[in-house]
Amino acid sequence: MKYECSRVCARRLLSHAIMATTMTLGASTAFAQTDYYNTDAGRPLLIEDAYATERYAFELKVASFSLERLSRGRYNAGLEPEIAYGILPRTHVEIGLPLAFADIGDGSTRSGIAGLELSAFHNLNVETRTLPALGLRTDVLFPVGALGPDRTYMALKGIATRTFSAARIHVNGQYTFGSDPAEGANHVELPRWLGGVAVDKTLPLKSLLLSAGFFAKQSLERAEDPDYNVEAGFRYQTSPSFLLDAGLGHTLTGPERGWSFTFGTTLAFAARSLMPVRSGR
């Protein structure tokens, strides 16, 4: 019964993601943006590149679905709608409201909002022949919802991207500040630290990005050795303003050596009222 409930809840979240995708496909855009090579955390890999959303542009990430199969046939699933806005040159802000389903074992399941997340991302420089592109990202997760954290947590991530003729390489390092969660707190697991590398290959004539990565992370709650993970995925631009992505990951070590799957869509658009007015002469 427990496993059947896990599968049913996961299927419901996936159906919501498909519905959101359909709604997004029907939305109108104010301008076009080529964005398939600008990767975000979890879209499709956890390791991201050092570039921000274009200034004055919105990125609406509606169908951000994830499914994780843990040990003993347990499942976690999530849906995280987000919206990002390029507020300054090489800088964007973002807000997300993650929704989660968690199988906590012993026949028990929990579902609901898993926090409120605010993020700020700044690209420090344009990549040159001698210097990689560097970026900084700050995430703040607030204690909102049944599966939200028991306190506010802030994470800081440093990002580097280097482009070669054959591929791009990205290096990420992240640390989460704050004390350990209270004993018995029931929420989606957060990393204390995370570090990893990814490589991607663009196929510009097909508007396609192929990527693969490796990362290690230490849980905020557990003092055991870090988990090691591999992942692979793609991003595909279906139109100048709409793209989709999908990824597959596997945890190689640790107590939960499971598989994970992600699927997402992004709509890029602009609000003309927010763009600067240029007066003619």
CATH number, domain containing residue 270: 2.40.160.40
pLDDT number for residue 274: 78
Identify whether the C-beta of residue 137 lies closer than 8 Å to the C-beta of residue 157: yes
3-state secondary structure 39-61: CECCECCCCCCCCCCCCCCEEEE
What's the whole-model pTM score?
Answer: 0.83
Number of domains in the chain: 1
Retrieve residue 60's tokens: 């609406």
Could you list the pLDDT tens digit for every one of the 281 residues in the chain? Answer: 444 445 555 555 555 554 544 444 443 343 344 577 889 998 999 999 999 999 999 999 987 899 988 777 778 899 999 999 999 999 999 999 999 987 766 667 788 999 999 999 999 999 999 999 999 999 999 999 988 888 999 999 999 999 999 999 999 999 999 888 776 565 667 899 999 999 999 998 889 999 999 999 998 876 678 999 999 999 999 988 899 999 999 999 877 788 999 999 999 888 777 777 765 54
Identify whether the C-beta of residue 247 lies closer than 8 Å to the C-beta of residue 262: yes
In sequence order, the 6+-apart residues with CB closer than 8 A to the CB of 205 are none
Tell me how far apart the alpha carbons of residues 25 and 28 are, in angstroms, rounded to a whole number.
Answer: 8
Identify whether the C-beta of residue 201 lies closer than 8 Å to the C-beta of residue 166: yes
| 280 within a domain of the structure (yes/no) | no
Identify whether the C-beta of residue 132 lies closer than 8 Å to the C-beta of residue 162: yes
| 279 within a domain of the structure (yes/no) | no
Question: Could you tell me the residue range of the domain that residue 182 belongs to?
Answer: 2-274
| 81 within a domain of the structure (yes/no) | yes
Tell me how far apart the alpha carbons of residues 31 and 239 are, in angstroms, rounded to a whole number.
Answer: 11
| 112 within a domain of the structure (yes/no) | yes
Identify whether the C-beta of residue 159 lies closer than 8 Å to the C-beta of residue 137: yes
Cis peptide leading into residue 44 (ω within 30°): yes
| 83 within a domain of the structure (yes/no) | yes
| 212 within a domain of the structure (yes/no) | yes
| Residue in 119, 118, 116, 180 with CA at minimum distance from that of residue 148 | 116
| 250 within a domain of the structure (yes/no) | yes
| 281 within a domain of the structure (yes/no) | no
